[in-house]
Structure 1
Amino acid sequence: MARNDNRGRLPKAPDQRHAHKTRAKQNRDGQIPTRDQIVEYLDINPHNASKRDIAKAFGIRGDDRIILKALLKEMEDDGLINRTRKTYRRTAVLPSVTVIDIPKDTDPNYMIGHPDKWDDDDGERPGVLIVVAKDAKIVPGPGDRVLARVSPNEVPDGPAYLAKPMKILDAPRKSLIGVVRMVERGARLVPVERKGREMQIHAGDLNGAKDGDLVEVEQAVAGRAMVPKAKVVNVIGNPLSEKAVSLIALHNLEIPHKFPNSVIAESEAAKPADLTGREDWRHLPFVTIDPATAKDHDDAVYAQLDEDPANEGGFVVYVAIADVAHYVRPGSEMEREALLRGNSVYFPDRVVPMLPEKISNNLCSLIELQNRAALGLRMVFDSDGEKVSHSFHRTLIRSAAKLSYQQAQTAIDGHPDDKTQPLLEPILKPLFAAFTAMEQAQKKRGPLALDLPERKIILNDKGMVQDVHIPERLTAHRLIEEMMIQSNVCAAETLEKHKVPLLYRAHDAPSQQKMIGLKEALSSMELNFNPGDTVKPDHFNRILAMAEKSDNPHLVNEMILRSQAQAEYTHENYGHFGLNLRRYAHFTSPIRRYADLIVHRALIRALKLGNDGLPPETDSKLPMIGEQISMTERRAMAAERETTDRLLAYFLADQVGATFPGRIAGVIGAGLFVRLDKSGADGFIPAGTLGSDYFLHDEGQQALIGERTGERFRIGDQVEVRLVEAEPLAGSLRFEMLTTGEQVKPPRRSRGRSPVRKTTFGKRRNKR
C-alpha cells in the first residue's frame, strides 16, 4: 500500500468516524458554543463544569441541550475533554515537542498516533494526526515512533492534535525496569513506577541478577490466572550501591548516558589548540569562580578600571568562554551525540555530561595555569554600570587561579587565604568593584526578583543523603551571574547586527489566564494586583516587596513562580520576560549546553573568526534544533527531580512516625502537597485524612476549605506533619496533618460541585 497520499494538506477523516453531526445545527440560533469556547470555559472553571453548568453559562435552554450533549460527547471521543461522573474538564495539554507512537494497524493514509507519555490519569491518550508535507524528508509509517512538533487541531470532528514529524526514533522499549527482591522460590520484581504492578521472576529467568539489583525485564503472562511474569534481560546496577540512585531516572526517561565507542575515539584523538588564528590573551590574569566541587570550567573573568579619560570611573570586563566549537565540529560523531543529549544532566550522585570527559573536563575546561582555547569577550561599562561597547575575539588564555565562590567571597570580606591573598588587590577587588557598578544598571533594569532558595543535598561515600542545607547566596554568585547575563546579551546583539540566525533563550510573559488566577489568589490575601494589559516584571516585584512585610512571603513567591511561562530555545525572538531583556542568547556554557555551541558557531561565522562556524545549511534546521534541546532540557529537569525525590525518600524511610515542620507547596482537589522545611522533601496528604468535614478545593485561594467548619489549608501555610509512609523506589512520601487549619467563613457549595467525603485518620493535635 502506498504511503500517505495526502502529503501537503490535511487529509479528510473517513465518513464513518462520527455517526452523528451537530455542526449544521449549532449555529441555528447562535446559542451553541464552539469547541474552543467550551475548552476556554473549562480552563477558567475547572471545578464548575457539569453539563448543567455549561448550559447555564452559555444560556442554552430547551431542545438545544440535546445538541450540547452531543457536542460534549464528540469532544470527549476526540480526546479534547474528559468526564468524571458528571463533571467535565479539559484533558492534559501536550508540549509543543512530543514523542508520538503510531500504531501498526493505523490507516497509512490517515495515520493517528498517541503521545508516548501521558500524565492525565483520568483520560485516554488523545489522538494525534500525523501530517506529512509534500516535500518532507521525514516520512513515518505505521508502527514508527517519531519526535514531532505538535499543535492543537482546529478542524472540527478530528483528533485533538496535529503532529509534524521531526525525526523517526528507535522503536519503543518493550521492557520494563524494576528492582529484584529474592523470595523462597525465585524472586519478585518491584516496579519503580508509582502505579506499576509487581511481577514474579522464576529462578532460571534472573540472568545473574541479585537481590536489590535494578533490572530491565521482558513481561509475559502465564497460567489460567494470567499471572504477570518477568524475565531479566539486562542488569542495570544496584541503586543502593555507590552513586547509583540516578540510574532509575536515566532508564525511565531514556537519557543517553554511555558514549558510543566512535564518540570516545574521536574525543581521544583531539589535540590542544595553539595560537594559530588566535589572539594571545595569556597576559590577562583570568580567574575561574565556580562551586568547590566543579570539574569543568566554562568561563573565566577579569576586570580592570578603564583608562580611557572619556569613561572616568568605568570598567573593562573580560570574559573568556571555553572554545568548544574548535573541538566539536559540524557533522562529527561528538556533534551528533551532543545534539542527541542536548545538555549535561546534573544529579546529586553523578553528572551525565553532554561531551566526553577528555573534552569537558580537560581540553575545553579552563584549568588554572594551562593554555586553553577560548572565545573572548571585552565589555566596557561606565560608572553607572551601563554597557558602552563590546567586542568578541578568538583567543588563547591561561587562567591564573581556580577559586570557589566561598574562597572569593571570604577574601573580599577581608579574610583571604594563602591562595587568594596575592590575588586580592590586582584581581578580586577590581572584579567586585566592576560588579558593584553593573549591579546599579541591573536594579534599574528590574528583572523578576523571586526569592526561592535552592537546597543542596550532601551525599555520603555510598551516594546516599547525609545532610540537606540551603547554601548562602553570596555576592560572588551574583557577580558571576550578572557577568554571564551581560555576555549572553552581547552575543545576541552581535548576531542580530550581522543578521546571522541564532537560537535565543526566550521567556514569554505570563498568559492572561494565569494572570486572572493570580489576581484572584492575591486578592484573597488583600494584595491588589492589577497590571493591566501589559504585564512587566516590576508589577510582580512590587507585590513581592509588599509580601515581605506579611506573615507569608513564601506563599506569594510560590504563586508568582507558578504563574510564569517556561523558558525555551527558539529561533524567534520574543525577549526574556524574567530577566527583562529584549534579546538574550545562551553563550557562556558550551561544555554543558548545545544551544551555546550553536551561538559560538554563529559568532565565528558572523565575525569571520575561523572556518568552523555555523554551516549555512544549519539555518533551516534551527527551529527543529530549538525544539529538540528544549525537550532534552525538560527531560533533564524531570530526571533530576525524580532522583532527588528518591534520595530524600531513602533518607527519610527509617523515620516513619516522626514529625516534621513544613509548608503546603501545592493544593489539588485530592489533597495537599507539603514540603518539609529542612530537607525540602515533598510529600502528599490525601484529602480523606484531613478530618470528618467536607473539604472543597478553592482554585482562586489555592486552598482546601471545610464546607461545615471553614477550616482552611492554603498553599504557603506553615504546618506540622507526621511521616506515615515512605516508598524510596517511587520517590514518594505520605504525611498526616497535625496542624489545625485557619478558620474562615465556610464556603457555599455550588450545585453540581462534588465534595470529597473525609474520614478521620488519627486525631490531629492543635498547633495553632
Structure 2
Amino acid sequence: MAGDGPDRDAVLRAIRRGEGNFGKREIARLLKLKGDERIGLKRVLSALESEGVIQRTARRTYAVADASPGVRLVEIVDRDTDGELLARPEKSDPGDPLIRMAPGQGASGRAGGALGVGERALVKIERDQDGEPVARLIKRLGQSAHRILCVYRADGSRPRLVPVDRRSKNELIPSKDSPLSPKNGDLVICELAKDRQHGLKSGRIIEVVGNENEARASSVISLAAHGVPEGFNDNEIEQAEKAKPATVRNREDLRHLPLVTIDPEDARDFDDAVLAEPDEDPKNKNGWVVWVAIADVAHYVTPNSPLDRGALKRGNSVYMPDRVVPMLPERLSNDLCSLRPDEDRACMAARMVFNASGDKIGHTFHRGLMRSSARLTYAQAQAAFEGNPGPEAADVVTSTLQPLWKAYQAVKTARQRRSPLEIDSPERKVRVDEQGNVVSITRYERFAAHMLIEEFMIQANVCAAETLEQKRLPLIYRVHDEPSREKLTALADYLPQVGMKWSMSGPVKPERFNQLLSQARNRDYEEVVNEVVLRSQSQAIYSTENLGHFGLNLQRYAHFTSPIRRYADLTVHRGLIKACKLGDDGQTNEEASKLSGIAEDITHTERRAMAAERDSVDRYIASFLSDRVGSEFQGRITGVTRFGAFVRLAETGADGLAPVSSLGDDYFHHDEKAHALIGRRTGGRFELGQNVTVRLKEAAPITGGLILEILDKPKRGRPSGGGRGGPPHRGGGAPGRSGGGAGRKFDRKPRGKGKGGKPGRGGPRKGK
C-alpha cells in the first residue's frame, strides 16, 4: 500500500470483484485497511470517480465504469402461468429464486425467432415497478443442456411428463426419439427438446430413477432433482476395503486419555471426542487443558486417490429424513474412522490451553492413536452434567464429564465477551419409519451439552486456522462476510413496523444484532425479528481469502472437526500434517495450487446438499399432510411477495403459499419496505409476522408444495392506491420463485451422523 492510501490497481480489483455490490466498507475490509489507510481509500475512490474510471451506484456502492454488474448468463427453464419465461442464472445454487424475463421477451425474442425454454441467454438484471428482479435479453446463446426431473404419466389419452419442481407449472410430452419406455408413475430425467411456439414442450427421456409410489420417494426425488451423486465406483470401494486399522507406529499414544464422544441419539458414526482436565502449570492457576480429537481421515484418503477424487466430487455427506448419502464409503465412515468406544482409532487432536477467564492461551496439534472411553448422547451427557448420570456415563463422570463442564463454564464466559451472533432459528426433525411414512415432526431439543460441544469444536477450528497461518501454508477458510448495505437498508426499513430501529451510521457488529434480538425477547414479534435479522445476514462460504467470520465474531476460522463428512476439513487436516511435520501424507504442492477452485466447488456442493435436504423435508411433510386437505391450522406469515404470502404452520413448521388471488375481494400489491401485501381499495394488510388461521387446500408430495387459504380478514389499514407506481396485483402471477420460510442460516453445521442408507439426521449440527 502507498503511504497516502491503497494502491489504485488493488482498489480497482476489489471493485471488480464486488460486481457493483461493494461500498467503501466492503472494499476496505477486503483490502484489510485500517486507520489512516481507510482515509486514503476515500481519496483514491474520489480520484477514480472524478476521472470516470469508476461510478457510484444508487445504493452507494461502486462499479467499474466500463463494467456491467447486472449482466448475467442464464438458462431459460420454464414459463409461469402468464406465459412469461423463467430463467436460472448459471452457477447459481440449487433452490435459488428463478428470475422472470421482462414481459414480451419470450414472445418475440431477438436475432430471429422466439426465445424458448431450454436456451441460454445473456441478460441484464433490472428491477420492475414492484422491486422484483427481471431479466432483459441482450443476446441469445443457443440451446442449453438443461435437464428436468418429471413423473411419467400414462393414465390418459396420451403420455405426459409432469415436472416435480413446484416452480414448474407446465407439463411436457415425451419426444418421439426418447430411448426409454418408462411405466406410469416412474420418475424420469429428461432433456428439454427444442421449445415449440405453441402447445406443450417436449422432453427426451434419458434416465429412469425410480417410481413415485416407492417408499422414500421423497428423498429419491430430491437427490435426483439436485443432481446429488450417490454410490461409489469400484476403485473407491476397492481402496476402502483394502484399508487396515492404524497402529501406534509413528503416532503419539493417546490411549490413556479418557476421551468421550457426545452425539445425537441416532448417530452411527462418531468423528470427534473431547476431554478436559485442570492445567497443572502453576503459571495458569485455575486454567484448563481441553483435548478435541478428530478422526484421522487423511490417513486413509490420500491425495488424488480414487477415494479422494470421489470425496471431492460429493463435497460433503447429505442428510435426509430417511437416509444419509455419505461422502465416504461405509468401511471408513462407519468403521475405521468412527471413534467407537473401546477400539483403537487414528486421530488428529488439538490440545488447547485456556486460562481461568476462558481465553485460549496456547494450543498444539498431535497425530495419535486414541481409545474412546464412552459413547454418550446429548441427553445422557446433559443428565450427567446436572448430577444425574446414567449407567452409560457412570465410569467417566469424575474423570471426564465434571472437568469438561467446569472448563466449559470458563470458556462460555469468553464466548459471551466475544458476543457471537445469537439468532434463534429452530430446526425441524422429521422421523420416518422403515416404510417411508412420517411418524413425527418435532423441533430439535437443544441442551447445554450441545452448546458445550459446539464451542469446543469452534475453538479447535480456530486453532487449525491459526496454525496454518503461522506456518504460512495455504488453506481453505470458512468465511462469513458482514451483511451488505442493501440488506441492512431493508432491515432498517422494516424494524419501525414493530417499534424498533437500526441506525445505518453505527458500526456493523454481531453485538448490535444481539441487542435487537434481546429487545424482542418474549414479545409478540420475537420470531419475526429473529427472521428479519437472519435474512439480513450473508451466507458463509469456503474461500482461500480470509474475510473473517462475522457470525462467530472471529478473525480467522477453518473447518477441522468433521472430515468424515466435509471435504473442507480433510484439506485442513492435510495442511496441519505438513505444517506440524506429522507425516508424509499431508498437503501436496498440487493440492495447494488447487485450493481456490476446491473452495468454490465445495461451496456449491454444500448449497446443493442443503437444497436437497430442505426439499426432501418439504416433500415428506406434504405427504404427511396430504390426508388433511381441508383442515384448518394456525400459522404465521413468514414472507410476502407479489404473488402471495408464505405461511409457516405452527404444528409442523411447514411452509405453504397463500396465493394473492385467495386473499379477499381487493387488489393487493406488495409493499417491499413494509414486508406487506396491501389492499388498494380497503388498505387491508397481510404482513410479515402476522398470525393467521389457514385452510389447507392442496398438498403435493411430489413437489413438496402446500397451497393455503388465509381465513382471517386482513389487518385494517389505509388505502394506498397501488404499489410503487405500478399496477396492483390480484391473482395472475405464478410463483416463479422458491419462497417462504426463514431463509437459510448464515452458516451450516454438520448434521448428526448416520450410517449410509439408515436414518441418521440426529440433532443440531456441530461447528459453524
TM-score > 0.5 by shorter chain: yes
1:16-165 pair list within 5 angstroms? 40=59, 94=89, 97=91, 119-123=98-102
Secondary structure, aligned partner of 1:621: helix
Unaligned residue ranges in structure 2 (runs of 5+): 1-48, 80-85, 107-118, 127-135, 733-768
Question: Any conservation in 1 of the 2:560–2:569 contact (CA below 8 Å)?
Answer: yes
Secondary structure, aligned partner of 2:606: helix
The answer on 1:652 being equivalent to 2:625 is: yes
Unaligned residue ranges in structure 1 (runs of 5+): 1-29, 44-70, 85-90, 100-114, 126-144, 164-170, 760-768
Q: Compared with structure 1, are the counterparts of its residues 300 and 737 closer, same or farther at alpha carbon in structure 2 (3 Å cutoff)? A: same
Cα distance in 2 for partners of 1:515, 1:500 equals 35
Amino acid of the structure 2 residue aligned with 1:190: V
Higher Cα Rg, which structure: 1
1:261-660 pair list within 5 angstroms? 261-530=234-503, 532=505, 534-660=507-633
Instruction: Kindly state the Cα deviation for residue 744 of structure 1 after the two structures are TM-superposed.
Output: 3.2
Amino acid of the structure 1 residue aligned with 2:594: K
Instruction: Kindly state the Cα deviation for residue 707 of structure 1 after the two structures are TM-superposed.
Output: 2.9
TM-score when normalising by structure 1: 0.76
Instruction: Kindly state the Cα deviation for residue 432 of structure 1 after the two structures are TM-superposed.
Output: 1.3
Larger relative contact order, structure 1 or 2 (CA cutoff 8 Å, min sep 6): 2
The one of 190, 195, 213 equivalent to 2:162 is: 190
Amino acid of the structure 1 residue aligned with 2:241: E
Instruction: Kindly state the Cα deviation for residue 121 of structure 1 after the two structures are TM-superposed.
Output: 2.7
The one of 172, 177, 180 equivalent to 2:149 is: 177
Cα distance in 1 for partners of 2:494, 2:196 equals 56
Instruction: Kindly state the Cα deviation for residue 453 of structure 1 after the two structures are TM-superposed.
Output: 1.1
Amino acid of the structure 2 residue aligned with 1:601: R
Moved more, 208-217 or 475-484: 208-217
Cα distance in 1 for partners of 2:378, 2:73 equals 54
Cα distance in 2 for partners of 1:34, 1:328 equals 49
Question: Any conservation in 2 of the 1:317–1:379 contact (CA below 8 Å)?
Answer: yes
Query: How many equivalent residue pairs?
Result: 642
Give the equivalent residue in structure 1 for 2:229: 256
Instruction: Kindly state the Cα deviation for residue 694 of structure 1 after the two structures are TM-superposed.
Output: 2.6
Give the equivalent residue in structure 2 for 1:128: none
Question: Any conservation in 1 of the 2:251–2:367 contact (CA below 8 Å)?
Answer: yes
Q: Compared with structure 1, are the counterparts of its residues 159 and 366 closer, same or farther at alpha carbon in structure 2 (3 Å cutoff)? A: farther
Cα distance in 2 for partners of 1:441, 1:199 equals 58
Q: Compared with structure 1, are the counterparts of its residues 526 and 248 closer, same or farther at alpha carbon in structure 2 (3 Å cutoff)? A: same
Instruction: Kindly state the Cα deviation for residue 226 of structure 1 after the two structures are TM-superposed.
Output: 7.3
Instruction: Kindly state the Cα deviation for residue 515 of structure 1 after the two structures are TM-superposed.
Output: 1.0
Question: Any conservation in 2 of the 1:569–1:627 contact (CA below 8 Å)?
Answer: yes
Secondary structure, aligned partner of 2:218: coil
Question: Any conservation in 2 of the 1:342–1:593 contact (CA below 8 Å)?
Answer: yes
Question: Any conservation in 2 of the 1:692–1:758 contact (CA below 8 Å)?
Answer: no
Cα distance in 2 for partners of 1:294, 1:713 equals 42
Deviations 1:550-596 (A, max 9, x none): 32101100000000011100001111000000110000001111110
Cα distance in 1 for partners of 2:590, 2:337 equals 26
Give the equivalent residue in structure 2 for 1:703: 676
Instruction: Kindly state the Cα deviation for residue 539 of structure 1 after the two structures are TM-superposed.
Output: 0.7
Instruction: Kindly state the Cα deviation for residue 416 of structure 1 after the two structures are TM-superposed.
Output: 2.3
Cα distance in 1 for partners of 2:235, 2:223 equals 22
Q: Compared with structure 1, are the counterparts of its residues 485 and 234 closer, same or farther at alpha carbon in structure 2 (3 Å cutoff)? A: same
Q: Compared with structure 1, are the counterparts of its residues 444 and 540 closer, same or farther at alpha carbon in structure 2 (3 Å cutoff)? A: same
Q: Compared with structure 1, are the counterparts of its residues 266 and 544 closer, same or farther at alpha carbon in structure 2 (3 Å cutoff)? A: same
Instruction: Kindly state the Cα deviation for residue 188 of structure 1 after the two structures are TM-superposed.
Output: 4.4
Cα distance in 2 for partners of 1:537, 1:679 equals 30
Instruction: Kindly state the Cα deviation for residue 460 of structure 1 after the two structures are TM-superposed.
Output: 1.9
Instruction: Kindly state the Cα deviation for residue 199 of structure 1 after the two structures are TM-superposed.
Output: 4.9
Q: Compared with structure 1, are the counterparts of its residues 199 and 517 closer, same or farther at alpha carbon in structure 2 (3 Å cutoff)? A: closer
Q: Compared with structure 1, are the counterparts of its residues 636 and 160 closer, same or farther at alpha carbon in structure 2 (3 Å cutoff)? A: farther
Question: Any conservation in 1 of the 2:218–2:620 contact (CA below 8 Å)?
Answer: yes
Question: Any conservation in 2 of the 1:187–1:203 contact (CA below 8 Å)?
Answer: no
Question: Any conservation in 2 of the 1:79–1:160 contact (CA below 8 Å)?
Answer: no
Cα distance in 1 for partners of 2:383, 2:360 equals 28
Amino acid of the structure 1 residue aligned with 2:543: T
The one of 167, 172, 186 equivalent to 1:213 is: 186
Q: Compared with structure 1, are the counterparts of its residues 688 and 159 closer, same or farther at alpha carbon in structure 2 (3 Å cutoff)? A: closer
Question: Any conservation in 2 of the 1:186–1:201 contact (CA below 8 Å)?
Answer: no
Question: Any conservation in 2 of the 1:491–1:587 contact (CA below 8 Å)?
Answer: yes
Deviations 1:269-315 (A, max 9, x none): 11111112110000111111111111121100011122222222221
Q: Compared with structure 1, are the counterparts of its residues 42 and 703 closer, same or farther at alpha carbon in structure 2 (3 Å cutoff)? A: farther
Instruction: Kindly state the Cα deviation for residue 702 of structure 1 after the two structures are TM-superposed.
Output: 0.9
TM-score when normalising by structure 2: 0.76
Cα distance in 2 for partners of 1:593, 1:75 equals 33
